[in-house]
């Protein structure tokens, strides 16, 4: 299974915008820098498991949705 960081980044940005949050606000919630969060959205950095779970809880969605995971 390949991880498509670009798709994950697009999904993260869509969720953030839908919830009327800035990158800085989400970064503060995750206890990371805005620069680090920006790298997630730009597909330059892999989310840690703990950050993935925190984002899923924040947006009240499954981690599968963020990862764009579909069972064949």
**What are the residue ranges spanned by the domains of the chain?**
5-66
Share of residues in the chain with pLDDT > 90 (%): 88
Q: What mean pLDDT is reported for the chain?
A: 94
User: Cα-flanking dihedrals φ and ψ of residue 48, to 5°?
Assistant: -75, 160
**Of the ranges 22-26, 49-53, 66-70, which one carries the lowest mean pLDDT score?**
66-70
Segment 36-40 mean pLDDT: 98
Q: What is the mean pLDDT of residues 56-72?
A: 88
pTM above 0.75, yes or no: yes
Q: For tokens 């993260």, name the residue.
A: 12
Residue 31: is its pLDDT beyond 70? Answer: yes
Return the half-sphere exposure (C-beta side, CA atoms, 13 A cut-off) of residue 44: 7
The CATH homologous superfamily for domain 5-66 is lambda repressor-like DNA-binding domains (1.10.260.40)
């Amino acid at each position: 299974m390949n991880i498509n960081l670009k798709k994950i980044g697009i999904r993260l940005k869509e969720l953030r915008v839908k919830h009327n949050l800035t990158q800085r606000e989400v970064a503060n919630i995750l206890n990371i820098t805005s620069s680090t969060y920006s790298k997630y959205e730009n597909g330059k950095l892999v989310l840690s498991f703990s950050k993935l779970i925190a984002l899923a809880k924040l947006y009240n969605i499954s981690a599968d949705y963020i990862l764009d995971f579909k069972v064949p």
